[in-house]
Structure 1
Amino acid sequence: MKKTFYSNGKLLITGEYVVLDGAKALALPTKFGQNLIVEESNNNLIHWKSYDHDGSVWFEETISFTSIIEKEKFAEIHNIKNTLIEILHEAYKLNSNFLTDANGYRITTELTFPKFWGLGTSSTLINNIAQWLEIDAYILLKNSFGGSGYDLACAQNDSAILYQLIEDRPVVETIDFHPDFTNKIYFVYLNKKQSSKEAIASYLEKQGIIANTIIKINAITTTVAHSKEAKEFALALQKHEIEMSKILELLTVQEALFEDFDGVVKSLGAWGGDFVLAISKENPTNYFKERGYTIVIPYSEMIL
């Protein structure tokens, strides 16, 4: 019997990094996501095949039940396999039945976005596995990858969310976010994928006393989430960039790459890679393409 599970991708609009320390974040689920297809097989093996958005296979491997139960670690060149084993091992600890009561599986994953875009290849996988095994996705994330979990909230919801960790527990509020100026918002890919793990590690090294920053970010998030005018929205994003620039000791993406842009550009998620948000009166596609950034996606084509 074939079972199919689906999870939405994500974009973090406010609260990057500081969401780990309890700041309130605004995140938007995307029209892109990932499928997980599970079929029964045999020999106590999992035959795993992962497809990119264009139908090409980017990962294929056979993993024994024993490898998962014992959390077997292979040579470094098999880092994707090792990561998958780690996730499945943590899933096994939460629900052992999927191995003890089965003969084997044929599992397929299908991304509907290019895997290098950073829209949640890992978070959609973890949420899909959690759906399949009927376990808590947040616990699975915490025990494997780590992170704030906002991406899981996007995977599970079809509308904008306000996300916050309160006493280390996720609090998710779905909100109606459809401002009149979304036709002025675009998402631009910076031509490189940023490692979330590395970016978080760098943040944790640099953070000082950030209680005051969290208060400011919370206020900015509220403003961004409820903005009625494009100018109010843009100015709030600009303030957010300045606050995070101080914490991270980095130039804002607009200062570093787009100083002459007529509008506001804001980093989304890990600074230095993946997507940025651009808001301007005029369609900025030509501006970015002239500078070598050819993937420019209007809000209506990206966000659910």
Structure 2
Amino acid sequence: MTEFYSNGKLLLTGEYAILDGANGLAIPTKFGQYLSVKNATTGQINWQSLTDKNTPWFTADLSSKNFSLLATSDVQSAERLITILRETKALNSSFLDASNGVYVDTKLTFPKDWGLGSSSTLINNISQWAQVDPYKLLEATFGGSGYDIACAQNDTPIVYHKMGSDPKVEKVNFDPIFKDRLFFIYLNKKQNSRDAIKAYRQLNIDKNELIAQINGLTTQLIAAKDLGTFETVINRHEHLLSKTLKVETIKNQLFPDYQGCIKSLGAWGGDFILATGTMDDMQYFRQKGYDTILPYSSMVL
């Protein structure tokens, strides 16, 4: 059996603008996804995807010759998997050529609706298995900036800069001394990043000006030596994106009376937010029904 693993991801700065080349501060998470491959003699790809609780959420049997669908628990997910495998084959024509079949198991180490990269970790794992460029495979399937692929491959915070199919990834020393005051809170719904990207693409804005401002904020956030400076930067980032997207900040929408600072992460409106405060302050969110609260050190690799 051969096994692969990829880290999950969170984007602290640069959401949306990272698609157009802005510098984004991204952090790999302690959560991720495994993919294991074992040879078979069935002439099929017998695929099983497991949740973090070890229960199957998707199964599919495909022909190992042309990836045609034989049986599945979910046709939509199976069609997406077939697209990924065919695009993988287009990048490496010898992928599975000599195979008489394989058993493939994937396993998430986080709930799949958390939005920490169930797709990007899958793409990176398949790319390792097939020995293809994960950025090219991502572009051919899900699209996006590729920062999530960089997180899948790195074990430290990075600054990600999209440059066509050959991005620039810079490892950075980002380990704030005030991290005990930083918390990630799940908003109880998964955001569709593809829809969010489509909406952003339709905006008529000065992208160059937005990128310049985001780059400055990313640099300032990495350099922040105290919580007050950190909060000032994330507030500026939130207001800049709010003005650009013409969408109220998540704090104004849901938590206007919270005393600390709140920042959206990734596609606005779902998945996780970053909140500053103390452990006692987190009771505010629990009282509103947001029970999934992870301290920074429990989330970040």
Q: TM-score, normalised by structure 2?
A: 0.96
Do 2:46 and 2:103's aligned partners in 1 also have CA atoms closer than 8 Å?
A: yes
Counterpart position of 1:94: 91
AA partner of residue 47 (structure 1): N
Which 5+ residue runs of structure 2 have no aligned equivalent? none
DSSP-derived class of the 2:267 partner: coil
Shift of 1:200: 0.6
Secondary structure of 1:55's partner?
coil
Q: Tell whether 2:28 aligns with 1:29.
A: yes
2:270 maps to 1:273: yes
The offset of 1:44, in angstroms, is 2.5
Contact kept, 8 Å, 1:74 with 1:82, in 2: the verdict is: no
Return the match for 2:282 from 280, 285, 293: 285
Q: 2:230 aligns with which of 233, 252, 258?
A: 233
Please point out which of 284, 289, 293 is paired with 1:296: 293
Distance 2:36 2:70 in 1: 25
CA distance in 2, matches of 1:14, 1:74: 42
Q: SS of 2:202's equivalent?
A: helix
Contact 1:73/1:82 (<8 A) preserved: no
The alignment status of 1:163 with 2:122, answered yes or no, reads no
Mapped partners of 1:30, 1:303: distance in 2: 5
Q: Map 1:206-221; keep pairs closer than 5 Å.
A: 206-221=203-218
1:193 aligns with 2:190: yes
> How many matched pairs?
300
CA-to-aligned-CA distance 1:166-197 (integer Å, 9 cap, x gap): 35531000111111000000000000000111
2:144 maps to 1:147: yes
Q: Distance in 2 between matches of 1:182 and 1:86?
A: 41
- Is this contact kept in 1: 2:3–2:37, CA < 8 A? yes
| Conserved 8 A contact 1:207-1:247 | no
CA deviations over 1:108-155 (Å, ceiling 9, x no partner): 000000000000000000000111111111111011111100000000
Q: Partner of 2:113 in structure 1?
A: 116
Matched with 1:18 is 17
Contact 1:31 1:301 in 2 (8 A): yes
Per-residue deviation, 1:82: 0.6
Following superposition, the deviation at residue 275 of structure 1 comes to 0.2
Shift of 1:248: 1.0
The whole-number CA distance in structure 2 between the counterparts of 1:168 and 1:37 is 27
Structure 2 CA distance for aligned equivalents of residues 278 and 73 of structure 1: 46
The one-letter code matched in structure 2 to 1:250 is V
Please provide the CA RMSD for this pair: 1.7
2: CA distance between counterparts of 1:15 and 1:230? 20
- The CA deviation at 1:209 is 1.9
Q: Distance in 1 between matches of 2:280 and 2:47?
A: 42
1:72-106 per-position Cα deviation (integer Å, ceiling 9, x unaligned): 7999x611101111111010111122221111110
**Contact (CA 8 Å) 2:64, 2:99: kept in 1 or not?**
no
Q: Is 1:263 matched up with 2:277?
A: no
The 8 Å contact of residues 38 and 104 in structure 2, kept in 1 or not, is answered as yes
Residue 43 (1) aligns with residue 46 (2): no
